[in-house]
Amino acid sequence: MTRRVLPAARDWAVLRRDFAWDVPAGFTIHESCCDSWARAEPERRALIDVDVDGALRHYTYGQLRDASDRLATALAARGLGRGDRVAVYLPQGPEVLITHFAVMKLGAISLPLFTLFGPDAIEYRLRDSGARMLVTDAPNLDKITALRGDLPELAEIYCTTQAPDPVRDFWREIAAAAPLARPAAVGAEDPAVMIYSSGTTGDAKGVLHAHRFLAGHLPSIELHHEFFPRPGDVGWTPADWAWIGGLMDMALPCLHYGVPLVSHRMRKFDPDAAYRLIAAQGVRNLFLPPTALRLMRQATVPPGVAIRSIGSGGESLGDDTLAWGRETLGAPINEFYGQTECNLVVTSCASLFAPRPGVMGRATPGFDVGVIGVDDAECADGELGEIAVRGMPPAMFLGYWNRPEATAAKFTGGWMRTGDLGRRDADGAFTFVARDDDVITSSGYRVGPAEIENCLTGHPDIALAACVGVPDPVRTEVVHAFVVLREGAGWSDELATTLTARVRERVGAHVAPKRITPRDSLPMTATGKIIRRALRES
């Protein structure tokens, strides 16, 4: 079956001109990513699950359909119905996909949760969402059972291994259930998934998406993976499937296109282990967050690694990283940009236009993206403003859960405001400058941290870097950099001087850090983004 949504052209202007959204009213994620393939090719390989001990489990589309059908029957027997929320508190693996599909087949809403969340974060999300059921595994079960007494709406807990009553056995319930007689009558506009925003400012908000939001991801997926899919493609990401990057920038698109998907529970990202997995499973297509890319640069690429495409987003990449991808991995690193509320709105495709350091890409076909001012008018080419998306493309969220005022505030003048500052040049290329609240104002300059951070991490002794503005009586603010050293490197005043000179020489004297502090780690959101607010307050 052909699933490509883009025209066959290999010209950017033609792709933009000729693309039009065509999302059938009956489009659903479970049908697109599971059941349609199971009917056509039930033995087609869907998932390669690599356990922590290296053991392999292969799943076909037919197996995923059968398991999700039976789980749907079991959940319905316990009272799950249309619009109910089911939390998926699991690491990468088949149980995640089976649960998502089962929940959707009942017209309910799946709620992915990151397994590294602590009890406060989990309780907040379960309480705020009013989740009725939850699926987890043995390592995380105690955290949930300890909270259950404070969550009266949480009626059922399922565990993927045997557990004491009243917790239900996930696989035993599937084995005992009959296949689902008929999925609920849902379509493209019906709610499917709720993903909580990272919450760098204020409480995290539940971002509710309809089934159509999968369709909204496909143009960028095809482009930043260099006209995906191609014969022999196999996909993997170390990003957790509980956030939109892992789930929607790799996992579900692979299943939609019939591309084998690798799942692997990596408790802590290990670049050497990642390379071994890529080689062993023949992974050709990767979504790698910038932090993972920077760590992989410090490791040796083993024989057998044959990568075709890499997508990355979330933080700006520097020239050193882009060049390393081309020269060492033999694959372009195509940057993209989006938010949980509306993802993959800007994209890159190296075979159509050469990647440029600091440039996220161009507006994805089907998306109207601009840079606007406070008056909602579009800024001139090269002028700093807020990146915004106009209209209601399929990737646009339905709204924030139970927060109509916050939803309304996200939109002004027909635009969805991202809160991110950037520029668009005359060629339509977008450059990310900073989150609106991350901008540093120094000596009359508005300084975005990304460019300074890229320069710092280009030094061989620096693994990670983050920059914030701190008050200064003369300059308003000066740049304070925080750095994490690579393994084996040592901190010294000489290194601090070298780093300051590097920024002064490579970026500009006006952005050179006035203070550099070494740290063992940097505060991160669950999605791997640096929480600069926490650094400003430290």
- Contact between 263 and 49 (Cβ < 8 Å): yes
> At a CB cut-off of 8 Å and minimum separation 6, what does 472 contact?
442, 478, 514
pLDDT tens track for 267-285: 788 999 999 999 999 999 9
Q: What is the pLDDT of residue 495?
A: 97
pLDDT at 202 exceeding the cut of 70? no
Q: In angstroms, rounded to a whole number, what is the distance separating the alpha carbons of residues 519 and 463? A: 11
Q: Check pLDDT > 70 for residue 445.
A: no
Residue-level pLDDT at 437: 72
Give the model's pLDDT for residue 221: 98
pLDDT for 491 equals: 96
In the numeric block, the tokens 């939390």 are attached to: 87
With 90 as the cut, is the pLDDT of residue 519 above it?
A: yes
333 - beta bridge partners?
A: 310
HSE at residue 144, side-chain half, CA atoms within 13 A, is: 29
Mean pLDDT, the chain, rounded, equals 93
pLDDT band, residue 532 (cuts 50/70/90): confident
In 125-231, DSSP assigns E strands to: 133-136, 156-159, 168-169, 191-196, 206-210
Digit-coded pLDDT (tens) for 466-507: 999 998 876 778 899 999 999 999 999 999 999 999 998 877
Domains of the chain by start residue, with CATH: 73-210 (3.40.50.980), 439-537 (3.30.300.30)
Contact between 157 and 82 under an 8 Å Cβ cutoff? The reply is no
